[in-house]
Amino acid sequence: MFIREKDFYQNIFRLMLPLVLQQLLRISVDTVNSILLGRISQIEMSAVSQANQVFFIFFTVCSGLSAGCAVLTAQYWGKKDRKTISVIIAHGLRTAAIFGLFMTVVVYLFPSSFMNIYSSDPEVVRIGAEYLRKVCLMYTACGVSVMIFGASRGVEQVKLILFTNIISYSVNILLDYLLIYGKLGLPAMGAEGVAIGTVTARLTELLICGWLFLTNPEIPFTARDLSSSDPAIRTSFFKVSAPIVAHEIVWSLGTSSGAAITGQLGSDAVAGYNVTSVLYDLGASIGLGFQNACSVVLGMILGAGDIPRAKRAANSMLAQGLAIGILLGIGTYLVRPLFLRLYMLNAAANHYAMQFMTIISLIWPFSLMEMVGMIAILRAGGDGRTGFWTDLVVMWMICIPLAWFAAFKVHAEPWVVVAIIKSMIVLEGIVGVIRVYQYQWLRNLTESG
C-alpha cells in the first residue's frame, strides 16, 4: 500500500522544506504586524486584520490560478515537455496580471463598502478603509508573483521562491517596524505604515522573482515566451484552473464570512480570534508546504504515466499528513499560553483566545487530511470539482448558516460560534479521504490536454 523507497520521501522533503520556510516567512509578516500593532492599539490591529480579509480572498483566487498552473506544469515536467510548459506559464501570467488590475480598481474605489462587511465598529471601518486604499496598489504585483511561484513549484525550482521571500519579507517586516513606531526619523504611521511597507515589499518581490525566473536556465521560460499562445493549451489551463479557482472562491468567501460573523461578536472576541488565526496560520505553513510538495511529486508521477505508483504515493502522503496533523494539534495546545504572552490583550480577549486555540488544536488532524487529500492529491490529477462542491455544501449550506444562527439568533458564546465555523474542516477532511480512495482522480492530463 505504501512506497518504501527513500528517494520518494527525500524528494518530498527536498521540496517541502523551502516551501515551509516560504510559508513561515509569509505568515511571519502578519504575525509581526499583529504583535506590533497590538502593542499600540487593539483597534488598529483588528482593523488591519479585518481589512486583510479582502486580500485573503484575492490571494486565494490567485493561488487557485497558480495551483492550476503548477498542476499542469508538474505533469508536463514529468513528461519532459518543456515547450508546452512555456505556453502554460504565459497564459497564467497574463491571467494573473488582468485579475490583479481588476481587483485593484474595485478595492480602491470602494474600500469602506468592503470594511462594512467585516466590522460594525465605525473606527475599525475608518482605519481599515484607509489601509485598504493604499495596500490594494500591490495586488497586481502580488498576483504575478504568485503565478511565478506556482510555475516554479511545477518545475521543482522551489529555492527561487524561498530566496525571493527571504528578501521581500525581510524588507516588509523592517519597513513595517520603522513606519509603525516612527523609527530612524520616519513618522509613526501605525496601520498606514503597514500598508506602505507591504506595497514596497511586494514590488521588490516581483522584481526579484521575475529576474530569477527569466534568467534560470532550468526553467523553460524566457521573456520572449510572454506572448506565446496556443488555443488547446489555453483551454487545458482554464479547464484545470477553473474548478480550482471556483473552489478557492467558495472557500475564501466562506472563511471570510466566518470572520465577518466573528467580527460582529465584539472587539474582545475579534481580537482573540485574530490572534488565534495568526497561530493557526503559523502551523498551516507546515501543512501547506507539505501539501504543495505532495502535489508536485504526485503530478510528476501521473505525468510519467505510472498509475500504480501514484496510488501508493497517495496512501503514503495521507499517512504522513495524519501524523503531521496530530503533532500540530499537540503543539498548538501546549504553546497557547506562551504565544499569548507576545500580545497585550485585555483579560476578556485573552480568555477568548485560549478557548479558540483549544478548538483549533482539535481540528489539526482533519485539516491535514483536507490539505493532503482534498487539495494535494485530488488536484494533482486535475480534480478540483470535489473541493468546490464539498465547500459549497459544507460551508454554505451547513456551517455558515448554523454559525450565523448561533451568533445572532441564539446569541451563543463566541467559542460555540467558532467551533461551528471550524467544524467544516472536519467534514471536508473526511470527504477528501473518501474521494481519494475512489481513485477517480488518477488522470494523466498531458494526454487529455
Residues 175-207: tens digit of each pLDDT:
989 998 888 888 888 888 889 999 999 999 999
Distance between CA atoms of residues 158 and 149, nearest Å = 8
Provide the pLDDT confidence category of residue 227 given band limits of 50, 70 and 90: confident
Q: Is the pLDDT at 449 greater than 50, yes or no? A: no
Report the alpha-carbon angle 176-104-70, nearest 5: 85
Q: Where are the beta strands (DSSP E) in 184-224?
A: none
CA distances from 411 to 262, 404, 405, 441 (A): 12, 9, 8, 42
**265-279, 325-339, 367-381: least confidently modelled range:** 265-279
pLDDT over 90 for what percent of the chain? 51
Q: Take residue 375 and report the three cell numbers written for it.
A: 487539495
249 Cα distance to chain centroid: 12
Give tens-digit pLDDT for 238-257: 888 889 889 888 887 888 78
Dihedral, CA of residue 372, residue 282, residue 141 and residue 246, to nearest 10? 40
CA distance 321 to 69: 24
> In the prediction, which pLDDT does 448 show?
53
How confident is the model over 14-27, as pLDDT tens digits?
999 988 988 888 88
Distances in Å between the Cα of 369 and the Cα atoms of 218, 257, 437 are: 33, 23, 13
Residue 57 has pLDDT above 70, yes or no: yes
Q: CA-to-CA distance for 369 and 416, rounded, in angstroms?
A: 23
**b/e 250-282 (16+ beta carbons within 10 angstroms → b):** bbbbbbbbbbbbbbbbbbbbbbbbbbbbbbbbb
- Cβ-contact 274, 46 below 8 angstroms: yes
Where is average pLDDT lowest: 8-22, 83-97, 262-276, 393-407? 262-276
pLDDT of 226? 86
pLDDT in tens, 143-159: 999 999 999 999 999 88
Q: CA 55 to CA 143: how far, in whole Å?
A: 11
CB atoms within 10 A of CB 218: 9
In whole angstroms, give the CA distance from residue 390 to residue 370: 11
Residue 97 has pLDDT above 90, yes or no: yes
Sign of CA dihedral 326, 327, 328, 331: positive
> Can you count the helices (H) and strands (E) in the chain?
17, 0
CB neighbours of 181 closer than 8 A, spacing ≥ 6? 36, 40, 188
Q: Per-residue pLDDT for 269 more than 80? A: yes
Asked whether the predicted pLDDT for residue 136 surpasses 80, the reply is: yes
* pLDDT, position 416: 94
Nearest to 231 by CA among 73, 327, 343, 88: 88
CA 289/CA 143 separation, integer angstroms: 19
- The percent of residues in the chain predicted with pLDDT above 70, rounded, is 100
Dist. CA 12–CA 10, nearest whole Å: 5
What span, in angstroms and rounded, lies between the C-alpha atoms of 133 and 131? Answer: 6
What integer pLDDT is reported at residue 381 of this predicted model? 87
Phi, then psi, of 41 in degrees rounded to 5: -165, 120
pTM: 0.80
Measured N-to-C along each axis, helices 231-262 and 42-79 cross at an angle, to the nearest 10 degrees, of 160
Residue 220: all three cell numbers together: 523553460
| Helix (H) / strand (E) containing 46 | helix 42-79
> Lowest-confidence range among 29-43, 331-345, 412-426?
29-43
The answer, yes or no, to whether residue 42 has pLDDT greater than 80, is: no
First to last CA, the chain: 30
Provide the grid cell at 395. 460551508
- Average pLDDT over the chain, rounded to whole? 89
Helix residue ranges, H only, 263-384: 267-303, 307-340, 347-369, 378-380
Domain ranges within the chain, ordered by starting residue: 6-448
Whether the pLDDT of residue 271 is over 90: the answer is no
Amino acid at residue number 195: A
d(CA 305, CA 376): 18
